Structure 1
């Protein structure tokens, strides 16, 4: 009963937060300089004043800001995210076409950085002054300091030019041969460089966090007690210390999920990956307000959902939180 009450409270808070984000995004975008109709006119090579007036009326841009916000919220409540100015398609359809590619990229990058980064951090904590620990620290610092787009360009030069192993553009080959398995392998082949680029910076953060957390836990009283009972060092290290050291890692995993979406914009642009990040980049350049708002809404929902799942995982990993 207490867990159900906790989940309902978190759900209510999440809904209020998402609504606030929707209103804030709408206001910020409409306060930003620029005119969607003028952007369309530039893309078309010119437009008559009469057509400009008709488009502003059709898009509701000739109404007051509060009226536009009310109309947007009423349509949003009915499940309508609007119609794209540039692509001339429903925003919902545009987003649904791009979501699978972005989720594949983001989840793959998150799993890679979480598993490999935590493993490296745990290994570094066993001998904090050893050569392996120092090497992992250097790698982590370089990975954390390198910008995402720079890492992507270096990987393209290294694995597509010097050693032509992986493709550098798109999600799949133009010509498909074979069945489902061949298609899956082709997508995985195209996924390697984008996922590696996006995952390297977060791998460095997970590595440093895991190392620091393990060193902190290994100095705790309960670890000394476990050792005094005669338990093996492997049991103490992996069964007692590691579980408690995972709590901060669980926290930053939820926080980094939103950052991965932001980083996906750069990665998808560098590798021409057909996901939400590239759609957001194209929509910003073309001042496609409904599409931008739809992408921001979905991103906010993903971040809020990741934070709620983080809270649940925290309660599972640490039973003391339930009390």
Structure 2
């Protein structure tokens, strides 16, 4: 019962904090986007080649851009209250449908990149901690420093040059091969081949962070009394590492993983643009270029919700790792 009570408190606390947080994010993003030069009418007129002042005025009136900023904000919040994200003038469809088409691609990249980053980060960090100060630790430390320092867009371009242009092993962009048989197992394999390079570009930076964090956390935990007690009881080094050291070292790693959800979403903008991946990141880039603030607001709102949900999942995971957290 105590476990369910702790989970209930965590859920209530998150829900209580989420509503004002999301509202604040929506209002702040709305006003920040108003500071950007130009609007959707300017972009549409530029793409058309020319437009008269009367045409521009009529277009702004049609898009609701002629209203005062506060009026536009109230109108947008009213639509949100009715679960309406608005209509995209650039893409010619409701924002909710537009995001629904793209969110699956971004979630696939994010989940795959984070799982790979956490798994390899924990593995490499454990190796570095086990051979602290020795050759494996030094080599992996240098390698992780390189992965941390190199921008993911440059890594993405170099991966394309190596594996697509030079070796021809993997596709250079897109989510699937156009005109190929994409049903059944062949479709899954084709999708996975297209995911390899963007997921790798997105994960390398975080592998370095989790490896170094795991190393530091494990070295700190190993110096604690309960670990020395476990060793004195005659437990094998593997059992001590997996059941005592690594379990407690997961706390800072999971905390950092929750904080990185927003960073992964931001990195997806670059990676999806480099690899022409049909996801929310590329959609956000296209919306910025088209000054489509309605789409951008929808993407930012959904991103905020995803970050909150991810942090809730991290809180529940940490509650499982250390039940004492729920009593604080």
Q: TM-score range by the shorter chain?
A: over 0.9
Q: CA deviation at 1:113?
A: 0.6
Find 1:118's aligned residue among 105, 122, 138. 122
Determine the C-alpha separation between the residues in 2 that align with 1:163 and 1:246.
38
Deviation digits for residues 115-162 of structure 1 (CA, Å, limit 9, x no counterpart): 011111011111101211111111100000000110101111111122
In the alignment, which residue of structure 2 is the partner of 1:321? 325
In the alignment, which residue of structure 2 is the partner of 1:223? 227
In the alignment, which residue of structure 2 is the partner of 1:41? 45
In the alignment, which residue of structure 1 is the partner of 2:282? 278
In the alignment, which residue of structure 2 is the partner of 1:155? 159
Determine the C-alpha separation between the residues in 2 that align with 1:187 and 1:234.
37
Distance 1:165 1:2, change over 3 A: closer
Q: Give the gaps of 5 or more residues in structure 1.
A: none
What secondary structure does 2:91 align onto?
Answer: coil
Determine the C-alpha separation between the residues in 1 that align with 2:206 and 2:9.
34
Determine the C-alpha separation between the residues in 2 that align with 1:120 and 1:101.
28
Distance 1:16 1:63, change over 3 A: same
Deviation digits for residues 169-221 of structure 1 (CA, Å, limit 9, x no counterpart): 10000112263111111000000000000000001101111111111111111
**1:1-323, aligned counterparts within 5 Å?**
1-177=5-181, 179-323=183-327
What secondary structure does 2:247 align onto?
Answer: helix
Q: TM-score, normalised by structure 1?
A: 0.97
Determine the C-alpha separation between the residues in 1 that align with 2:35 and 2:163.
43
What secondary structure does 1:33 align onto?
Answer: coil
Q: TM-score, normalised by structure 2?
A: 0.96
Q: CA deviation at 1:35?
A: 2.5
8 Å CA contact retained: 1:148, 1:197 = yes
Distance 1:270 1:240, change over 3 A: same
Q: CA deviation at 1:309?
A: 1.3
Determine the C-alpha separation between the residues in 2 that align with 1:56 and 1:200.
44
Q: Give the gaps of 5 or more residues in structure 2.
A: none
8 Å CA contact retained: 1:60, 1:68 = yes
Q: CA deviation at 1:292?
A: 0.8
Distance 1:31 1:178, change over 3 A: closer
8 Å CA contact retained: 1:171, 1:191 = yes
Determine the C-alpha separation between the residues in 2 that align with 1:243 and 1:203.
18
Determine the C-alpha separation between the residues in 1 that align with 2:87 and 2:17.
29
Determine the C-alpha separation between the residues in 2 that align with 1:70 and 1:4.
34
Taking only aligned residues, the RMSD between alpha carbons, in angstroms, comes to: 1.1
Determine the C-alpha separation between the residues in 2 that align with 1:184 and 1:237.
37
8 Å CA contact retained: 1:85, 1:289 = no
Determine the C-alpha separation between the residues in 1 that align with 2:251 and 2:18.
22
Q: CA deviation at 1:8?
A: 1.3
Determine the C-alpha separation between the residues in 1 that align with 2:35 and 2:91.
23
Determine the C-alpha separation between the residues in 1 that align with 2:152 and 2:182.
34
Distance 1:178 1:259, change over 3 A: closer
